[in-house]
Chains A and B, each alone.
Chain A
Amino acid sequence: MKKELTIVGLILAAGLIFLGAGCGQKSTENVNADANTNAAVNEETENVNAVNPGVTEEELNQLKSDIDELEYDDLNTLTQ
């Protein structure tokens, strides 16, 4: 009888450990999810606050590159 109780006790203890681990895991996920949500909210807030210049940096870089490429050769080099 005592042996049977010990086995039942061990099974219960194992069950509790598994449950505890499950709860712990869930808790970590929740923390990560909360952190991600906060980061997204912060980013959105920053985007709302940032000034849109009306021109992108890529467009300005392309413009400079287009101007850089302008070359005007005289006739002696045109025929070389």
Chain B
Amino acid sequence: MVIASLLFQIGLASALTSGEAKQAWLSAMQARISADAAYKQAQLDYAANKTPENDQKVIDNAKTVLGSALNEVEAWLNWKNQEAKDSDAPAELKVKIGNDVEKNLVKITTLRGDVAKIKTRVDVAGVFLKMVGAYVELLTDVARNTGAAWVYTGNQIADKTADYEIKLRTTANGLVDNTEILAKLDIAKSQIDLARTQINAAETSYKLVILPGTPLVKFAEGNSYLRQVRVNLLAAAGQLQESFNLIVSHK
């Protein structure tokens, strides 16, 4: 039954486009926010009047909000999975992301069973803590995969920038009075080399986005390297444009 439910969920998610999957996640988030408001009201009612009925209302609302949170996380995972499928990431990375998403969807299914078994306030606290742990785990998986996809894209763009630099340099070498053009191309090349060093550093950081460890810190570290890559590549592209202008206006 659990496996059938999981297969249905995966099938349903794969039928969505990335935009639709994101919309489904936003709707699930809204439902969780509403459920959370109802849970807080139930707690206020119980604080004002501690009857067994109000106590049961708190437990029932807690179960609803925990279930809604699981729906939200599941929708978010489906969106991230679809986003990866729609991207130009390499096939092996897409498979890895798909496997991680499936692994986390199984955890969500297990947690749904735990929520259904909640009978007391102590059970609510226990399941909540379990969910927080699972959420950190799935965030770690998604962050590591996202970083790997960003490194791939960064390398692709650095390769293209280097290819254009070589083509412009080949043309410039055939021109007389090419000193200014070659100087600009030298700057572009050094920026591309810097970008490649930063991409490698980012890749090392993203590989350390694991548990146990400091996945959030390592993920932020990788992002910081890639932001510098963006600066380097923009500087290189600016030099390529100036070289291009000098070449086409060359007499």
Contacts and interface: CB of A to CB of B under 8 A. Distances in A.
Interface of A: 50-55, 57, 59-60, 63-64, 66-68, 70, 72-75, 78-79
A46 B246 CA distance: 17
Interface string B142-154: 1100100010011
Give the residue among A53, A54, A78 with the most B Cβ atoms within 10 A: A53
Given A74-B220, A75-B219, A53 B230 contact: no
Contact of B248 (A50, A67, A75): A50
B161 interface: yes
Nearest to A50: B248
A78 B139 CA distance: 9
A59 B237 CA distance: 11
Nearest to B147: A72
A64 B230 CA distance: 10
Contacts of A63: 157, 160-161, 164, 237, 240
Contacts of B219: 74-75
Interface stretch (B3-11, B38-46, B95-103, B165-173): B165-173
A63 to B, nearest CB: 5
Contacts of A73: 223
Contact of B139 (A54, A72, A75): A75
Contacts of B76: 79
A46 to B, nearest CB: 12
B22 to A, nearest CB: 12
B164 A60 contact: yes
Interface residues of B, number: 35
The 5 tightest CB contacts between A and B, nearest first, are: A54-B167, A72-B223, A53-B247, A67-B233, A72-B226
17 contacts: A51-B171, A51-B175, A54-B167, A55-B167, A55-B168, A60-B241, A63-B160, A63-B161, A63-B237, A67-B233, A67-B237, A70-B150, A70-B230, A72-B223, A75-B139, A75-B216, A78-B139
Contacts of B154: 70
A17 to B, nearest CB: 53
Given A51-B247, A54-B171, 16 more contacts: A51-B171, A51-B250, A53-B244, A55-B168, A60-B241, A63-B161, A63-B240, A64-B241, A70-B150, A70-B233, A72-B150, A72-B223, A72-B230, A74-B220, A75-B220, A78-B139
Contacts of B143: 75, 78
Contacts of A66: 157, 160
A60 B175 CA distance: 21
Contacts of A60: 164, 237, 240-241, 244
A65 to B, nearest CB: 10
A54 to B, nearest CB: 4
Nearest to B174: A51
A25 to B, nearest CB: 42
B201 interface: no
